[in-house]
Amino acid sequence: MAASYDKEENSDPTATLVRAGPGRVRLKLLILSGVEAGHSHSLDNGEYTVGKAPSCDIVLSDKTISRQHLKLQVRDEGVLAIDLDSRNGSFCEGMRFSQVELRPGNVITLGTTELKVVPEDTRERSMPLSTRDHFGALVGTSRKMREVFTLLERMAPGGSDVLIQGETGTGKELCAEALHQESRRGKGPFVIVDLAGIAPSLIESELFGHVKGAFTGAQGDRAGAFERASGGTVFLDEVGELPLELQPRLLRVLERRQVKRVGANDYRTVDMRVVAATHVDLEGAVKEGKFRRDLFHRLAVLRVTLPPLRERPEDIPLLIDTVLTRMNRPPSALSDQTRALLAQYPWPGNVRELRNVVEQVVNLGEEALPELPPLPGDEPRSGGHITHEMELPFKEAKERLIEGFERDYLKGLLERCEGNISRASREAGIDRVYLRKLLRKHGLEDRDGA
C-alpha cells in the first residue's frame, strides 16, 4: 500500500527504558517543589554543581539553599551526591548526609526544595511506524492506524493484559480478536463477555461461574468466562459497566489469576489473557467514583486507543473496499459519486455505521443511499425507502424496515429526552441495558456513554 510515512514522535506509553551505557539506566533530576518545580535535568556522565549561584549547573532559586550547595558525580557505576558544606545541609530520604550514593526514586531535600532522582524518559523517539495496512481484520493506512498497529505488534506476543479504548464502532472487538490470534494463545478459546449487554445481576456468575445451588436456578456447576477461556483470551467488552462491588474480584483475577465461583469457598487458578475494552473515559469514571482507581491502573498498564473514523478519513476508501470484499462484491459495486459522498461524512457510528451504509447501498441500489447531512441531528429518514424494501424477500424487507424504524424511533426519543438514557428508557418503557445496546447498534450512543 503506497503511503508516506511521517517520522513523528511516538507517544507509546509502553516503550521500554533505554540504558545510558552498559548496565546503567539513564537518570535525571526532577525538581518537585519551589519556583523551578516540574523542571528536570538529565544526568549524563560528569559533574554537576547545584545551588543558588547562577554559575551552578543546576540553579535553584531558593533562599534557604547555599550558593554552591551540592555536587553530583555521575558515573556508569552510579550517582554520588556530595554536600558542599552548605549552611542548611543536604538530606536524602530525611537523613542528613555529607556524601551519599543516589538510587532511582531517592528524594533529596536542599533547603525547602525537594528533588527526585528518576529514570530519564528515554522512550525511543523514532520508533518506526508500522508499514502494515492491516492487523488481523483491522484495516487502515492512515498514520493514526499505523501507530495503533505499531503498538499491537508489540503487545500481541507478550501476553500481558491490554485495555482498548475507542468510540463505539471503531473496531475494539476486532482489535481484541487480532491480539488474541497473534499471540501464543491464538489457538486457545476467545471468550467474549459484553458487560453492557448482561443484566447486572448475572454478571458475577457469567464472569466467575457458580456452584450448584448458589442461587435459585443454579441447577449445576458452571465455569465462568475466565475459566472457559483457559489457554486463550477473555474479551471484556465495556469493562466500565462492571458493577463497583465486583471490581475487586476482577482486580484479583488480573493480579493473581484466581477466581472463586459464586457459592464456592475456594479459589481456582486460571490461565488466560484479559483484553478489556471501553468506549467511556475510564479516568473520568475513576474521578466520579464509578470505577476503582487500582483496577484502572492495573488495566491501563498496556493500552491502545482506536481513533474515531472522522480523524482518519483517508481510511474510508480502503474500509469501503474491505466491506465489499467481505460481501464478495467488486470495488465497482459502488460508484465514484457514492464513494465521494461517503468519504466526506463524519461517521459518528464509526466503521460500523460505514459498513451498514455500504451494505445497504450495495443491497438496495445507490438510490437507497441515506441522506448523510453534516452532524449533529440529521432528520429522521422519510418512508421513501419502502418501495425498495417491498421488493426484497419478506424476512429481509421486514428486518430492514424494523432497523429503519428503530433508528428513527431512537433518534426522536433521544432528542425528546435530551440524551438522558434513564429518562429515555422510562419514556420508551424499555430496559436501560437493552436501550443502550440498541443505541450502540445504531451508532447513536453518545461518546460519554449517555
Q: Residues in the site for ligand ATP, rule: CB under 6 A?
A: 137-140, 166, 168-174, 237, 279, 319, 322, 351-352, 355, 440
Beta carbon nearer to ligand ATP, 58 or 323? 323
Please, which residue, 83 or 353, has the CB nearer to ligand ATP?
353
Q: Least distance to ligand ATP from the beta carbon of 283, Å?
A: 18
Closer by beta carbon to ligand ATP, 196 or else 368: 196
**Minimum CB separation from ligand ATP for residue 138, in Å?**
4
Residues constituting the chain: 450
| For ligand ATP, the closer CB: 12 or 173 | 173
What grid cell was written down for 417? 429526552
Which residue number, 279 or 303, has a Cβ lying nearer to ligand ATP?
A: 279
Cell output for 225: 468466562
Residue 342 Cβ vs ligand ATP, minimum distance, rounded to whole Å: 14
Three-state SS string over the chain comes to CCCCCCCCCCCCCCCCCCEEECCEECEEEEECCCCCCCCEEEECCEEEEEECCCCCCEECCCCCCCCCCEEEEEECCEEEEEECCCCCCEEECCEEECEEEECCCCEEEECCEEEEEEECCCCCCCCCCCCCCEECCEECCCHHHHHHHHHHHHHHHHCCCEEEECCCCCCHHHHHHHHHHCCCCCCCCEEEEECCCCCHHHHHHHHHEECCCCCCCCCCCEECHHHHCCCCEEEEECHHHCCHHHHHHHHHHHHHCEECCECCCCCEECCCEEEEEECCCHHHHHHCCCCCHHHHHHHCCCEEECCCHHHCHHHHHHHHHHHHHHCCCCHHHCCHHHHHHHHCCCCCCHHHHHHHHHHHHHHHCHHHCCCCCCCCCCCCCCHHHHHHHHCCCHHHHHHHHHHHHHHHHHHHHHHHCCCCHHHHHHHHCCCHHHHHHHHHHCCCCCCCCC
Min. distance of Cβ 424 from ligand ATP in angstroms? Answer: 18
Least CB distance to ligand ATP at residue 107 (A)? 43
How far apart are alpha carbons 303 and 275 in whole angstroms?
A: 10
Q: How far is the CB of 372 from ligand ATP (least distance, A)?
A: 17
Residues 135, 149 contacting (CB under 8 angstroms): yes
Q: Which is nearer to ligand ATP, 174 or 428 (CB)?
A: 174
The nearer residue to ligand ATP, 197 or 263, going by C-beta atoms, is 197
For ligand ATP, the closer of residues 185 and 355 by Cβ is: 355
Residue 174 C-beta: closest distance to ligand ATP, Å: 4
Comparing every residue's Cβ against ligand ATP, the nearest one is 171
Q: How far is the CB of 298 from ligand ATP (least distance, A)?
A: 22
Q: How far is the CB of 432 from ligand ATP (least distance, A)?
A: 16
**Number of other residues whose CB lies within 10 A of the CB of residue 440:** 20
What is the nearest approach in angstroms of ligand ATP to the Cβ of residue 347? 11
74 vs 275, beta carbon nearer ligand ATP: 275
The nearer residue to ligand ATP, 102 or 316, going by C-beta atoms, is: 316
Cα(406)–Cα(187) distance, integer angstroms: 38
